Amino acid sequence: MASAGPAPIRRAGKLLQLALHGCIALPRVWRLFEHTLVALRHRFPGSAVLSRLSYHWLIALTTGRPGEMSRIATLPGGIRLAILLRDGWHRGLYFRGVYEPETTALIRRLLKKGDTFLDVGANIGYYACIAAGCGASVHAFEANPALVRQCELSRSLNRFGDRLTINPVAVAGGEGTADFYVSPQEENTGLSSLLPMPHLATGHRLSVRTISLDAYCRTQQIHAIRLLKIDVEGAELTVLSGARTVLTDIRPDAIICEVGGFAEGCTPAELLHALTDAGYTPHEIAPDGTLVPFTDAETALHRPAQWVQRNLCFLNGAHESTGSRQSREHGHDYVGPNA
């Protein structure tokens, strides 16, 4: 008996797409199907069948209604986030309801009402909105105008008001202007950078305003920072060069930083040296959002080609137990949207 091979699977996929195209002509049916699919994906995130169904749904959507790519994703705590389905990680967020679940869990554990959170490289404001939902005072920085508009829409959707300040600037070593290289890939808007990397060569270049964290905190009279998040695609040392007073005097309790694998940008070793020299200790973020000892220094320092890009959390020496398995945060009231 012949087994079902690729050809029958392809035929089934085409039949499914035809059925979905038929649903597009029936708006109420289409909306019901989409909402049901999203709810099932949230409940069963590991389902291969639902994942495949989502893939065919997206093909039908982009073919039948290419202009209708805007959606509102529902995040932990009921936060609403404006997304664009043409971006790959936005789609994953739409169907799963969470992005980088371990980092999301850590941020929700660390922040409480009244804390200050700085989000450098905010993208569409995912972490900024999560933090604002915790009741933190959030200062987000994003240089890409298209992503800033998404941030502003999400702030309005959640009625965060002054709790979320969005700064349409790049964070650098000082105040002025700089070239900002926008990702040419609609599938990944998060690749944009202050650095002219090869994968950005076909994208467009913007002149953007820059500001240093030292100057910003001085102007805004920020004297305490619970959490600083940096995700700037290889330009981490540029950010830190303008944060000397922040690191020495304000001293954020914790710094979450994407430690990347861009050969042209900041290396894992450079970032580790910069933050450990400033008195911070690196930790891995466990799947449940707690912190565990960082044990991969050998790879980061001596074998960068084998380094796997990921977020690390650097703790101020005075707050070594923050977020650890032995000292989980309790009693933090989750504020959520509309509060």
- Say if residue 159 is in the same domain as residue 236: yes
Residue 192: inside a domain: yes
256-278: average pLDDT: 88
Judge if 134 and 269 occupy the same domain.
Answer: yes
User: Residue 137 and residue 109: Cα distance in Å, rounded?
Assistant: 15
Q: What is the mean pLDDT of the chain?
A: 85
Same domain, 44 and 100: no
pLDDT tens digits, 23-65: 666 778 778 888 888 999 988 888 898 888 888 777 777 765 5
Q: Does 2 have pLDDT greater than 90?
A: no
The verdict on 281 and 142 lying in the same domain is yes
The answer to whether 281 touches 320, Cβ cutoff 8 Å, is: yes
CATH code, domain carrying 236: 3.40.50.150
- Rounded CA-CA distance 15/147 in Å is 36
pLDDT of residue 140: 98
- pLDDT tens digits, residue range 118-144? 999 999 999 999 999 999 999 999 999
Residues 215 and 174 in one domain: yes
What pLDDT score does 330 carry? 36
Q: In the structure, what pLDDT confidence band is assigned to residue 173 with cuts at 50, 70 and 90? A: very high
Higher pLDDT residue, 59 or 203?
A: 203
**What is the pLDDT averaged over residues 134-163?**
96
In-domain check, residue 339? no
Domain end marker among 94, 112, 127: 94
Q: Which residue bears the tokens 């105040």? A: 175
Token output for 283: 């930790």
Please choose, from the candidates 270, 302, 309, 324, the residue with its C-alpha nearest in 3D space to the C-alpha of residue 100.
Answer: 309
Q: Does residue 275 belong to any structural domain of this protein? A: yes
- Domain range for 19: 11-94
The reported pLDDT for the residue numbered 115 is 98
Q: Is residue 328 very low, low, confident or very high in pLDDT (cuts 50, 70, 90)?
A: very low
89 and 100, same domain (yes or no) = no
pLDDT score for 7:
58
Among 94, 126, 142, identify where a domain stops. 94
% of the chain surpassing 90 pLDDT: 55
Give mean pLDDT, residues 321-331: 46
pLDDT at 327: 40
Read off the pLDDT band of 319 (50, 70, 90). low
| Position 333 in a domain | no
Structural domain tally of the chain?
Answer: 2
* pLDDT above 80: residue 200: no
Q: List beta partners, residue 178.
A: 208
Please state, in angstroms and as integers, the Cα–Cα distance from residue 181 to each residue in 190, 205, 227, following that order. Answer: 11, 5, 27
Choosing from 36, 63, 94, the residue where a domain stops is 94
Residue 139 sits in the same domain as residue 82:
no
Q: Other CB atoms closer than 10 Å to residue 55's CB: what's the count? A: 14
Classify residue 3: in a domain, yes or no: no
**pLDDT of 3 over the 50 cut:** no
Q: 189 and 250 share a domain? A: yes
Indicate whether 278 pLDDT > 60: yes
Query: Residues 26, 167: one domain?
Result: no
Asked if 115 and 318 touch (Cβ cutoff 8 Å), the reply is no
Q: Encoding tokens for residue 80?
A: 């609403």
What secondary structure, in 3-state letters, does the chain show? CCCCCHHHHHHHHHHHHHHHHHHHCCHHHHHHHHHHHHHHHHHCCCCHHHHHHHHHHHHHHHHHCCCCCEEEEECHHHCEEEEECCCHHHHHHHHHCCCCHHHHHHHHHHCCCCCEEEEECCCCCHHHHHHHHCCCEEEEECCCHHHHHHHHHHHHHHCCHHHEEEECCEECCCCEEEEEECCCCCCCHHHCECCCCHHHCCCCEEEEEEECHHHHHHHHCCCCCCEEEECCCCCHHHHHHCCHHHHHHHCCCEEEEEECCCCCCCCHHHHHHHHHHCCEEEEEECCCCCEEECCCHHHHHHCHHHCCCEEEEEEEHHHCCCCECCCCCCCCCCCCCCC
Specify if 2 maps to a domain.
no
**Do 246 and 111 fall within a single domain?**
yes
61 and 200, same domain (yes or no): no
241 plus 261 within the same structural domain:
yes
pLDDT of residue 183: 87
Q: Who has greater pLDDT, 322 or 99? A: 99
Task: Assess if residue 329 is contained within a domain.
Answer: no
Is 289 within a domain? Answer: yes
